[in-house]
């Protein structure tokens, strides 16, 4: 059966990127229902982060009549309407419906509206899934930046803006980069303005949120000559390897940072000494391979016994970032063991 897995709509993936450009207007070219689904999701995510405002999202609000006669006139009018407010950029996302009726969205976006207009193909099923939408949006927005000199900083590419713990992951990453004395140049794309995109080429290293974003890393390497690290720090040993790799790629000595982090990891594990030898049960069926390795490592370090009859504990996807992410995970596991 074509049962949906964890991958969502292309449109949602693209919007998760575009909506993080604060002075952008994003147009969803399709029926209002497609936009509502995503507006509702972004609203929930924003509230959970204490952001009361909403990103500026317009729906071209295709009706039955537009489906019959074509949606290009309403899209053009919607782009012009958005452009009148002089946003930093207008991002146009097409939907399944626009794709099916054959609207030439790309051609309309090439016209002159007095502000930059970026088209992200996001026609639901026709252009892939959530991940493809994210990639398309990152690459399309990255096309707005020019090559500049580098300054030893890093870009964070493709943070999962819809993720509940996105800020906690960012803080952990900052903590680790601080150990190396490395600055973050740009969160691409998370809570930035259009003008910030111009800084994309300044970083000396792009750090991808996950390996699946490699096409974006490749595109930016080709455009700006920026090398790329393929993942945020995941797992105990993965975090130490991350420090080593960032150090190598930026030509910095990482030994002091690794020593510090190793000591911190021991302190964290000491706090959960009471978990040692406990019997737990993990739902590994839905666990991506990378997570599986991190989880097995943690189970071995803590000498946890797995199997039927064990206490069920959560296995997050994606796996939490860094040592502090593992600290929070172990609190959740201990809570379950106490239950």
Partner 1 sequence: MPECASPLWPCALTGAATCFAGIEGMGVIIHGSTGCYFYPATALHRPIHCTSITGKDVIFGAEETLLRTVEELDGRYGRLAVLCSCVPSITGEDVAKALGDRDVLVLESPGFSGDFESGYLAAAGAIDFPGDGTAPGINVDGLSLLDPFWRGNAIEAGRLLTMAGTAPAAPFFCGVSLTSSSSPWTVGANPDIPSGKGAYLGMLIGFPAMKQAFRAIEDATKCEGGEVWEEIAGSEERIDAACDRFLRRHEPPRAALFGQHRTMEAIAGMLVRFLDADILGIGSRNTPGTSRFRVFSARDYALEEQFLEEEAPDLVLGSSFEQALSPSAAFVGVTHPIRGRVRLTARPLAGVQGACALVEDVLNACMDRESCGPSGTAGP
Query: Which residues form the interface with partner 1 (CB under 8 A)?
Result: 1-4, 7-12, 27, 30-37, 39-41, 43-44, 46-48, 52-54, 56-64, 66-67, 74, 77-78, 81-82, 95-97, 99-101, 124-127, 129
Alpha carbon distance 82, 109 (integer Å): 12
Toward partner 1, which CB reaches closer, 118 or 154? 118
Burial of 253 (0-12, 13-18, 19+ CB in 10 A): exposed
Of 38 and 204, the one with the shorter C-beta distance to partner 1 is: 38
Closest by CA position to 265, among listed 290, 288, 233: 233
- For residue 180, the minimal CB distance to partner 1 (Å) is 36
Min CB(101)–partner 1 separation in Å: 6
Among 254, 253, 251, residue whose Cα is nearest residue 242: 254
Least distance CB 221 / partner 1 (angstroms): 29
Q: Which is nearer to partner 1, 12 or 295 (CB)?
A: 12
On whether the CB atoms of residues 62 and 98 are closer than 8 A, the answer is: yes
8 Å CB contact between 45 and 167: no
Which helix (H) or strand (E) element contains residue 281? strand 279-281
Nearer Cβ to partner 1 (37/174): 37
Q: Least CB distance from residue 80 to partner 1, whole Å? A: 10
Q: Minimum Å distance from CB 94 to partner 1? A: 12
Q: Which is nearer to partner 1, 9 or 176 (CB)?
A: 9
Q: Which residues contact 95 (CB under 8 A, 6 or more apart)?
A: 11, 28, 29, 30, 31, 34, 122, 123, 124
Looking at beta carbons only, is 79 or 197 nearer to partner 1? 79
Smaller CB separation from partner 1, 120 or 294: 120
DSSP 122-173: --GGGG--HHHHHHHHHHHHHTT-------S-EEEE---TTSTTHHHHHHHH
Looking at residue 235, what DSSP letter applies?
S
CA distance 177 to 179: 5
Task: Output the smallest distance, CB 321 to partner 1, in A.
Answer: 24
Nearest distance from C-beta of residue 11 to partner 1, angstroms: 6
């Amino acid at each position: 059966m074509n049962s949906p897995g964890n991958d969502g709509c292309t449109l949602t993936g693209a919007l998760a990127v575009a909506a993080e450009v604060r002075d952008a207007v994003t147009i969803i070219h399709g029926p209002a229902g497609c936009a509502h689904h995503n507006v509702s999701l972004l609203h929930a995510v924003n509230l959970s982060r204490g952001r009361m405002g909403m990103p500026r999202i317009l729906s071209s609000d295709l009706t039955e009549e537009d489906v019959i006669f074509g949606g290009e006139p309403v899209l053009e009018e919607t782009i012009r309407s958005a452009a009148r407010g002089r946003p930093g950029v207008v991002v146009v996302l097409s939907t399944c419906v626009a794709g099916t009726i054959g609207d030439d969205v790309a051609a309309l976006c090439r016209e002159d509206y007095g502000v930059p207009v970026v088209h992200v193909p996001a026609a639901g099923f026709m252009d892939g899934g959530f991940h493809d939408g994210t990639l398309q949006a990152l690459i399309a927005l990255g096309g707005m930046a020019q090559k500049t000199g580098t300054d030893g900083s890093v870009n964070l590419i493709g943070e999962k803006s819809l993720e509940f713990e996105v800020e906690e992951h960012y803080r952990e990453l900052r903590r680790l980069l601080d150990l190396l004395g490395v600055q973050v140049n740009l969160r691409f794309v998370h809570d930035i303005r259009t003008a910030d995109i111009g800084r994309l080429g300044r970083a000396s290293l792009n750090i991808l949120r996950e390996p699946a974003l490699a096409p974006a890393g490749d595109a930016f390497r080709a455009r700006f000559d920026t090398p790329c690290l393929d993942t945020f720090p995941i797992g105990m040993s993965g975090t130490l390897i991350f420090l080593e790799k960032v150090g190598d790629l930026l030509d910095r000595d990482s030994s002091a940072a690794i020593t510090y982090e190793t000591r911190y990891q021991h302190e964290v594990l000491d706090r959960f000494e009471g978990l040692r030898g406990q019997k737990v049960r993990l739902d590994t069926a839905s666990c991506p391979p990378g997570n599986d390795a991190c989880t097995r490592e943690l189970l071995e370090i803590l000498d946890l016994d797995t199997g039927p009859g064990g206490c069920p504990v959560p296995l997050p996807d994606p796996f939490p970032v860094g040592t502090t992410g593992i600290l929070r995970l172990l609190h959740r596991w201990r809570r379950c063991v106490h239950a």
